[in-house]
Amino acid sequence: MRSWNVLMFVLAGCLPELPAEDKDGGADSAPQCVTFTDSDGDGFGDPNNPVSAPCEDGVPSGTVADNTDCDDAAATANPEGVETCDGLDNNCDTLIDGDDAQDRGTWYLDGDGDGYGLESDTVLACDQPEGRVNRSLDCDDNDATINPEAAEICDEVDQNCDGTVDNEATDAPTFYADHDRDGFGDPVEPLKICEAPTGYVSDNTDCYDDNADVHPDQTEYFPTQRGDGSFDYNCDSSEDLFVNVEGDCDVTCTLRQAGWVALPAPACGEAQPFIEGCKKTSPTKCDEVVVDETMSCL
């Protein structure tokens, strides 16, 4: 009869204890079964917290027959748990955050200590290994001044690892478009770049970049507007008249002053009779040589 009872307890998932008479020589008592506290409710019991109760009463509430839980305070830690990086031995293999943790991070070798590592040299781990970082994209792991956050400078080196040398360099000078090739650039077309491309100059003082005669060094006078209606050829923001006096011949029929027949002088680009010389028409008579002249302006 006793052997049959023991077999039934085992099949029921309980660990039987011997009847009381075999312990102390007393009379037979109800067989006892041992289960284990399952405080976290994960179906696995704490081997350090056994509970003994009459087998006929079944499994006591809050206990289970299994005794393989390694942390009965965490439902995520049990022999069927999935190891994660949380400071717990989730699968009860005695390793905390081991190599089987499902959410391990990728760490890249950072040889130069600039905070960026090599895409080609990685390890998986929960905690950051020495000499490794969680950011890659370093294009030169032997130089701490070269990484994706570095400032690009004009030195024919790709400091910021964008695949382009001297791209948007912080120390790049500014050049200006020189469409008319007069050596003076248009201030409204700047280009910040390490080396000037064709058609760009460092000067930005041209006031009309579609006419090579227009620039700050101009000293000549021009009878026609420069191309936009203005006669300002030397970029001083004003239009200077080339001739603004009245012409005259002296008594010897010598040109005293070349100039307009009458003042006021015409506006820039406008025509008016102009005395350009004198000629004798008789021993006592002198005539002015008059032509239609267009006012030239600088």
Q: Taking the domains of the chain in order of start, what are their residue ranges?
A: 1-93, 104-168, 173-214, 218-298
Cis, bond preceding 264 (omega within 30 deg of 0): yes
In tens, the pLDDT along 195-209 reads 999 999 999 999 999
Tokens of 160: 């910021």
Q: What is the mean pLDDT of residues 103-113?
A: 97
In tens, the pLDDT along 172-181 reads 999 999 999 9
| Per-residue confidence band for 251, with pLDDT thresholds at 50, 70 and 90 | confident
Tokens of 10: 């085992």
Amino acid at 182: D
In tens, the pLDDT along 124-151 reads 999 999 999 999 999 999 999 999 999 9
* Nearest-angstrom CA–CA distance, 146 and 129: 22
Pairing of strands 63-64, 122-125: unpaired
The region that residue 62 occupies, defined by phi over 0 for left and psi between -120 and 50 for alpha, beta otherwise, is left
* Mean pLDDT for all residues in the chain: 90
pLDDT at 28: 54
> Which pTM does this prediction carry?
0.59
pLDDT(113) > 70? yes
pLDDT(29) > 80? no
pLDDT at 295: 94
Do the Cβ atoms of 143 and 122 come closer than 8 Å? no
- Any idea which residue has 């360099």 for tokens? 169
| Per-residue confidence band for 284, with pLDDT thresholds at 50, 70 and 90 | confident
Angle at 53 between CA 62 and CA 73, to 5 degrees: 25
Amino acid at 228: D
Q: What percent of the chain has pLDDT over 70?
A: 91
pLDDT(1) > 70? no
* Dihedral over alpha carbons 60, 64, 70, 71 (to 10 degrees): -50
pLDDT at 12: 38
